Amino acid sequence: MTLRRLILPLLLVAVLSASAQEFRCMVQVNYQKLMTTTQQFSTGDTRVYESMKQALEEFINSRKWTTLELEQQEKIDCSISLILTEQSSPTDFKGQIQIQLRRPVYNSTYTSGLFNYLESADFAFTYNESQPLEWDPNSFYGNLSSTLAYYAYIMLGIYLDSFAPMGGTAFFDMASTIAQTAQTSSYKGWRSTDSQKARYWFSENHTNSAYESLHNIYYLYHRQGLDMMTRDQQLARGNILQAMEEVQRLHHDHPGVLSEQQFVAMKIDELVSIFTPAPPEEQARLYRVIQEVSPVNISKLKDFSTK
């Protein structure tokens, strides 16, 4: 996979063009909970859920989000799952949304998780199958389109950060703009006061200079780490350890940063796989990091050296 166009130092955002799309996103709409609970509106006709799935895929995959010109094989691999839990009218829904982003590793068939987040079960939105999903960065048309656009830019930011130092900056700024605009609505998830896991925090974490090391963590772990594994495993593991020790410093200075928490939770199994064959001193360095930043996962390193 050639990624020369993905590591440009400056990336300008384009919103409304419809060519050279960046995403290859699979969408799933799960309505099983609606079928097993008493709803005011009949769920016997499932056409609306298939229509919803197609509308979400078209919204993400058919829109040009950046000025990047990507080949088909360079498109960004992600998935969106919408788990419906309530339907209070023919067009009003509530549920959970899960976003997953994956990244290819250079010179291998392996893909590494970059982002995996399941929101709480209070994602409310309106969907009318007779109306297209509309969105504009400076206007709020609806919670569904704004949420999808927000996560599209969060994914772009993380993805580009993993290929170039600060490569995702423009996209995190766009996500922040979307969040600020959506705060004019009555929907939950856009304000810092809504919860500690509100949508607000992902864009805040990546635009706040206090957490600037997050950007380097993505780059060091992936571009200088995973992408180097087939060339020099010792060097690659060393860079991954440096990235994790940056996570440790971030955690020490700013405990509870949402983006750091989800990064560690997503990477822990991968880290175990990478460092199981590593020398004891490397295992011990990783053990100390996980012991501090994610003690709930320390049992996964039970066979690692601790000295």
Q: Does the CA dihedral 216-269-296-155 come out positive or negative?
A: positive
Model-level pTM greater than 0.85? yes
Q: State the alpha helices, DSSP H only, in 75-142.
A: none
Residue 173 CA to residue 101 CA, distance in Å, equals 19
Q: Are 265 and 144 in contact (CB under 8 A)?
A: no
Residue from 170, 160, 148, 3 nearest 73 by CA: 3
What contacts 299, CB < 8 A, 6 or more positions away?
A: none
Q: What is the pLDDT of residue 301?
A: 97
pLDDT at 69: 83
Instruction: Domain ranges for the chain, please list them.
Output: 19-159, 226-307
pLDDT, tens only, 209-254:
999 999 999 999 999 999 999 999 999 999 999 999 999 999 999 9
Number of CB atoms found within 10 A of residue 225's CB: 24
Torsion 174-176-182-188 (CA) sign: positive
- Spatial contact of 74 and 1, defined as CB atoms under 8 Å apart: yes
Q: Is the pLDDT of residue 78 over 60?
A: yes
Q: What is the mean pLDDT of the chain?
A: 90
Q: Chain centroid to CA 118: how far?
A: 10
Distance CA 165, CA 112 (A): 18
Residue entry with tokens 């175990």: 272
- The two structure tokens encoding residue 66: 């950046």
